[in-house]
Structures are given as C-alpha cells and as structure tokens.
C-alpha cells in the first residue's frame, strides 16, 4: 500500500496536465468501479463479511473518495506532488484527534499531547517556507488541502466503528460507484464536462491509479482496518510522503529543500509521540 500510494501523488499531478481535477478523479474511480465489478465477488467470497449498509457506502464514497480526493486533485494543480503528500502526513494526528472525540481509543497522555503540538509546528513550518515559495494561491490551496485528511479520518473512524463485519471488497465496490458519480457531477457543474486523456501516458496514468492506486490499495486498506485500529493503520502516513518526495524529485524534478525535510521530520515526530502507547498499555485492536 505504501509503495503504490507513495507513487500516486506524482501520477495524479502529471495527469492534471491533460485533465481537470474533478473529471480526472471521477474517471479514475469510475474505471476502478468497473474493475471491482469483476473481482469483488471473488474477493468477498474469500474474505467473508456482510453486505455494507447504505450509510457505510455513503460515508466512504463522500469522505474517502469524492471530498478527500477531490480536494487533493484540486490542490495539486498548484502544489508539487511531494509537498502535497507531506502535508497530508498529518492524517495520523487527525485520526488520533477524531478517535479522542469519539472515545474509541485510550485518552492521550503527557507526551502524546506534545505530539500534537510538534506536528502542528511542522505544518506551520511548511507553510512559512515551501508552500509560500510556490507562489500564487498555494497558501490557500494548502489550507484547503488540510481538510482532505480530516474528512478521511472522520470517514475511516465511522467505518471502523460500524463496519467491522462488512466485506471490504463489497464496500469498496459500491463506494467507488457513488464517489465517482459525485466527482463526475462536480466536473459537469464546475469544469463544464469531462475531458478524457489525450495521450498514451495519460491513459496509462488513469489505469494505474484505478487498478493499483484504488482497487488494490483500498481493498487492502479496509480489509486490514477490520483487524487493526484506525490509529495504528494511519502509520502508513510515515512512509508514503517519503516515497512521494523521492518519486517527485526523481521523475518530476520537484525541489526537495531542507525546509521540506525539516517540516516532514516535525510532522512525523509529532505522529510518533501521539501514537506511542503508555508503558504497560496494550495496543488496542
């Protein structure tokens, strides 16, 4: 999951050279739904689980697909892919915060609260340096981008709480259809229609995002979510921004400054402090 998701940030940004953000995201998830129509029954038969309720489908479609990815695609029109991934690394902090409000995880103590402060300092550092240096409306897009991990954290926590016995494959399949239709509708209203990719690279990019970046990863993610806590699973945010920075710098020639690495370090240290368990306390499943 980390390897694939770490590469998708760059593929998304490259695709925006040919397509508008909502149309691009809508096409990705619609194609992923078509693929899930083929593979979901077989996966569901092996993994077990109940059919998802419409509430769970709607939560995942809006929170994990339409709103969250709609914001990411929109933000990457301006922000470099690696920097976008680094800002999204606050996901574990937001997941921990949501879990505290819902009472589904142990209360934060001592150094864990300091983790929230350290992570916040890292985000502020990134906005004062790398985000500001991008110019244009980068600050505004960066602030809106922070809503993406928040919405995703809320949706994931809801699914964890109410979908423990639901088939991840069937949930993913249904949510992909609803989420893709939401994004395609937004494309019609805001972008004046859906522009398909015009080059072979553009087509391959959409296929890669649909097959690997959506069907494979989200099916695995929500299957693992049935076994692990939302906070523990959010640890993938440690790995994906580092991969995204390497891919963006290597393939897209994006700049990685000392401020980038410093801001990322603050965010990840903050995550580490928040996610650490007090001595003698077992990790909750």
Buried b (16+ CB within 10 A) or exposed e, 77-86: ebbbbbbbbb
Q: pLDDT tens for residues 9-47?
A: 999 999 988 899 999 999 999 999 999 999 999 988 888
Q: Is residue 8 part of a domain?
A: yes
pLDDT band at 281 (very low <50, low <70, confident <90, very high): very low
Coil, helix or strand at residue 79:
coil
Instruction: Report how far residue 236's alpha carbon sits from residue 233's, in angstroms, rounded to the nearest whole number.
Output: 6
Give percent of the chain above pLDDT 70.
91
Residue 283 lies in a domain: no
pLDDT, residue 234, reads 64
Q: What 3-state DSSP class applies to 110?
A: coil
Which residues is 50 bridged to in the sheet?
Answer: 166
Number of domains in the chain: 1
- Please check whether residue 285 lies inside any domain of the structure: no
pTM of the model: 0.85
**280 occurs within a structural domain:** no
pLDDT band of 257, cuts 50, 70, 90: confident
- Give CA torsion, residues 94, 149, 253, 26, to 10 deg: 170
Angstrom distance (rounded) from CA 5 to CA 12: 11
Over residues 237-250, mean pLDDT: 83
Give 284's DSSP letter: P
CA proximity to 244, closest of 4, 7, 73: 7
- Per-residue model confidence (pLDDT) at position 108: 67
Q: Which structural domain, as residue segments, surrounds residue 253?
A: 2-275
Mean pLDDT along residues 227-250: 76
Residue 64 lies in a domain: yes
Asked whether residue 284 is assigned to any structural domain, the reply reads: no
110 exposure class (CB count in 10 Å sphere: 0-12, 13-18, 19+): exposed
216 or 254, greater pLDDT:
216
């Amino acid at each position: 999951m980390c390897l694939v998701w770490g590469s998708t940030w760059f593929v998304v940004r490259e695709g925006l050279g040919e397509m508008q953000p909502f149309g691009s995201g809508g096409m990705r998830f619609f194609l992923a739904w078509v693929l899930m129509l083929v593979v979901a029954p077989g996966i569901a038969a092996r993994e077990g689980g109940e059919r998802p309720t419409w509430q769970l489908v709607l939560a995942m479609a809006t929170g994990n697909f339409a709103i969250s990815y709609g914001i990411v695609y929109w933000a990457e029109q301006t922000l470099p892919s690696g920097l976008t991934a680094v800002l999204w690394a606050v996901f574990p902090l937001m997941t921990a915060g949501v879990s505290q409000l819902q009472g589904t995880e142990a209360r934060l103590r001592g150094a864990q609260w300091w983790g929230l402060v350290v992570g916040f300092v890292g985000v502020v550092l990134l906005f004062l340096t790398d985000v500001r240096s991008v110019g244009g409306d980068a600050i505004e897009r960066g602030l809106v981008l922070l809503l993406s991990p928040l919405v995703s954290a809320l949706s994931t926590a809801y699914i964890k709480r109410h979908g423990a016995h639901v088939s991840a494959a069937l949930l993913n399949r249904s949510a992909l259809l609803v989420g893709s239709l939401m994004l395609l509708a937004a494309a019609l209203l805001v972008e004046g229609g859906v522009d398909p990719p015009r080059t072979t690279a553009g087509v391959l990019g959409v296929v890669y995002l649909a097959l690997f970046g959506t069907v494979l990863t989200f099916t695995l993610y929500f299957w693992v979510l049935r076994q692990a806590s939302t906070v523990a699973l959010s640890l993938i945010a440690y790995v994906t921004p580092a991969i995204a920075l390497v891919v963006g710098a290597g393939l897209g020639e994006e700049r990685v400054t000392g401020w980038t690495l410093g801001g990322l370090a603050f965010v990840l240290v903050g995550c580490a402090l928040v996610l650490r368990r007090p001595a003698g306390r077992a990790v909750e499943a």
